[in-house]
Structure 1
Amino acid sequence: MTLIQKVKANLILEHEADDELLEMFIAAAVSYAESYQHVPEKYYTDHPMPPTTEQAIIVLSSHFYESRDGSTGGFFADNVQAGQQVWNMVNLLLRLDRDWKV
């Protein structure tokens, strides 16, 4: 299963109308993960992505899709705290695979 297929499954999306948008959100989430984990840009192009990092990418990409204006936690949560909880969880997952030597 590809990363976009996993994101779409998480979002319960069956159409292809937003695939280009989802790819942009996935690219942004991967870039954030690489920066947060202190690995070089495009690192996950040539290296396997650990499952915890992949889950963080799926969650963050889904969050970007559901909360395009960045002001809420998504369609199912209409408060700013829900959005912060998403970021807290994403950062926790990414810390598990972070390169602490840098």
Structure 2
Amino acid sequence: MDDLLARVKQNLILSHSADDDLLSSFITAAVSYAESYQHISEGYYSEHPMPPTTEQAVIMLASHFYESRDGSTGGFFADNVQAGQQVWNTVNLLLRLDRDWKV
């Protein structure tokens, strides 16, 4: 989790630790979303390595949660009303690569 926290902070260009607890909660939510989307058991990534594509999706999603925590689009794409949807589309595309396809 500490490694993911460092990567999310790097992605956000964030050097202070004032929001580490908040970021950790967003990372937990993003990992939970990834596990659910990929049809794997809850807590799977606490015991197994996370593939790079899933890790990137988690970083992007946690960053999105942080940047839009006030309900706005926030961040780099703040001037684009479809930015939030673009983030979700990209995250889901990345997560699909490591999905456990079950019928």
Amino acid at match of 1:17: A
**Any unmatched runs of 5+ in structure 2?**
none
TM-score scaled by length of structure 1: 0.93
1:10-32 deviation per Cα after TM superposition (whole angstroms, max 9, x unaligned): 00000000000000000000000
Question: In 1, distance between residues paired with 2:71 and 2:56?
Answer: 20
Question: In 2, distance between residues paired with 1:42 and 1:28?
Answer: 12
After TM superposition, the runs of 4+ consecutive aligned structure 1 residues lying more than 4 A away are none
Give the superposition deviation at 1:76: 2.6
Q: 1:35 to 1:70 in 2, by over 3 A?
A: farther
Give the superposition deviation at 1:90: 0.1
SS at match of 2:82: helix
SS at match of 1:2: helix
Number of residue pairs aligned between Structure 1 and Structure 2: 101
Partner of 1:33: 34
Report if the CA contact (8 A) 1:64-1:70 is conserved: no
Partner of 2:77: 77
Report if the CA contact (8 A) 1:53-1:97 is conserved: yes
TM-score scaled by length of structure 2: 0.92
- CA-atom RMSD in angstroms: 1.3
